Amino acid sequence: MLEYAGSQRSGLQAQRAEGVALVSVLRSIDWILLAGVAALVGVGLWAVAGVTRFDNPGHPSYYLDRQIVYAAVGGFGLIVAMIIDPDVYRRYWRVIFGGTVGLIAVVFVLGSAARGSTRWINVGFFTFQPSEFGKLAFVLALAGCLASGTTVLRALGFGLIPVVLIFAQPDLGTALVYLAALGAMLFVAGTPWKQLTALGAIATIGAVAVLWIGPAFGVDFLKGYQKARLTCFVHPSKCSDRYTRYNLQQSIVAVGAGQVYGRGVKNSTQTNLNFLPEHGTDFVFASYSEQRGFVGASLLLALYLLVLWRALRIVSIARDFYSAIVAGGIVVALLFQIFVNVGMTMGIAPITGIPLPFVSVGGSSMIANLAAMGVLLSIHARGKAARARRR
């Protein structure tokens, strides 16, 4: 009887401690980051409402309705991720890594093909892209590997497994996002500059070999359209792939046509007449710029800068080494996606098919990115609470 009473008191004390910890976390939330993310989602929905208005005759809000549902699910994921202590991910990083690799590999068996790639799994009510959700899981898992004191070569060995699988789908753009996150995590983990320089040199040599040296000797690592997407932005008029050249030219026209205040929804001919393909996904920034002009584009980019600033700040106030590595990986992956997507619409970055975070139509990207923001908020809250307790 006494043992039962003692265990009951211990359970109540543990519950109270958890409740106090949760209240402390809620008080330490980065409300500026949360507001910036909410504003980004709002602007993204506004953009989707305009650029997809004429894409489904008879149902102008078809894509907007679906995007709202995705944002709601992602918002729930953000809340859940914000509540979970990041140390949970550190303890189970091997399980997370195995699940990530397994889910990406399943695509080759159960995935549905579209536009020459097998990236999606259809579960009836939702078609999701494992590699999108894998971005966050990849960061959480590899950060655990690095935080455990492993060698750089071992971390690279782990990291390159999902990268190779994604590249084989083929999905070059997403594979590059994983590599960007990997590089950021190695940097935050304190990898010596000599090793980082050596890795950068190897990556550069590999890129040159894939794009030019290999084809010169009759060895093609990439498909023709993939190579064109990576190189056409340098000389658009000399691009060998007509489809890629056309997309890039129409995108540049759409961005310029918006001028200062934009053409509005009804008068955006590049978007409404479908001169610009994929205007709701890959080239959504170009369509948004055509409709809302320089002012609207500046608003969107300013919100991205706000979120990136607050997210980068979290790296310095993280509670522990693991959390700092996770924050660095998430921030750089987000920055890389924004830069490449916006840059490719204006001809200053390769066309890779990377979605624009919080704006491009698609559930996988929206849900995964919001969950990643939840992890950042969790890291910030616990880091700030830990500092307050030490004072």
Going residue by residue through the chain, which has 391 residues, state the pLDDT in tens, using 9 for 90 and above.
434 444 444 444 444 445 555 666 677 889 999 999 999 999 999 999 999 998 888 888 999 999 999 999 999 999 999 999 999 999 999 999 999 999 999 888 876 666 556 677 877 667 788 889 999 999 999 999 999 888 888 999 999 999 999 988 878 889 899 999 999 999 999 998 898 898 888 888 887 777 777 776 666 766 666 677 777 776 676 676 777 888 888 999 999 999 999 999 999 999 988 898 888 888 999 999 999 999 999 999 999 999 999 999 999 999 999 999 999 999 999 999 999 999 999 888 888 889 999 999 988 999 999 999 999 999 999 998 777 777 6
Handedness of CA 134, 329, 339, 299 (dihedral sign): positive
Distance CA 183, CA 328 (A): 10
- 7 in any annotated domain: no
Beta bridge partners of 122: 127
Instruction: Compute φ and ψ for 119, nearest 5 degrees.
Output: -125, -15
Cβ pair 291, 258 in contact under 8 A: yes
- Residue 117: the pLDDT is 64
- Residue 85: the pLDDT is 93
- Residue 352: the pLDDT is 82
**What is the torsion angle, in degrees rounded to the nearest 10, for the CA atoms of residue 342, residue 345, residue 349 and residue 354?**
60
**Torsion-angle region of residue 113: left (phi > 0), alpha (psi -120 to 50) or beta?**
beta
- DSSP secondary structure letters along 233-249: TTSGGG-S-HHHHHHHH
Distance CA 143, CA 141 (A): 5
Q: Which helix (H) or strand (E) holds 112?
A: strand 112-114
- Residue 243: the pLDDT is 75
Q: How far apart are the first and last CA of the chain?
A: 42
Handedness of CA 379, 380, 382, 384 (dihedral sign): positive
- 124 in any annotated domain: yes
- Residue 7: the pLDDT is 43
Cβ pair 28, 268 in contact under 8 A: no
- Residue 111: the pLDDT is 66
- Residue 150: the pLDDT is 83
Distance CA 289, CA 199 (A): 37
- Residue 245: the pLDDT is 80
- 345 in any annotated domain: yes
- 102 in any annotated domain: yes
Rounded to the nearest 5 degrees, what angle is found at the Cα of 104, between the Cα atoms of 155 and 340?
A: 75
Instruction: Compute φ and ψ for 96, nearest 5 degrees.
Output: -65, -45
* Nearest in space to 104 (alpha carbons), one of 23, 167, 62: 167
Instruction: Compute φ and ψ for 86, nearest 5 degrees.
Output: -55, -20
- 13 in any annotated domain: no
- 47 in any annotated domain: yes
- 9 in any annotated domain: no
Per-residue pLDDT of 147-172, as tens digits, reads 988 888 899 999 999 999 998 887 88
Per DSSP, helices labelled H in 242-349 are: 242-257, 269-272, 284-317, 321-345
Helices 363-390 and 62-83, interaxial angle, to 10°? Answer: 30
Cβ pair 186, 199 in contact under 8 A: yes
Per-residue pLDDT of 77-107, as tens digits, reads 999 999 999 999 999 999 999 999 999 998 8
- 23 in any annotated domain: no
- Residue 3: the pLDDT is 45
* Nearest in space to 255 (alpha carbons), one of 384, 378, 347: 347
Number of compact structural domains in the chain: 1
Which domain range does residue 324 map to? 32-390
Per-residue pLDDT of 182-216, as tens digits, reads 999 999 999 988 988 988 888 888 877 777 777 76
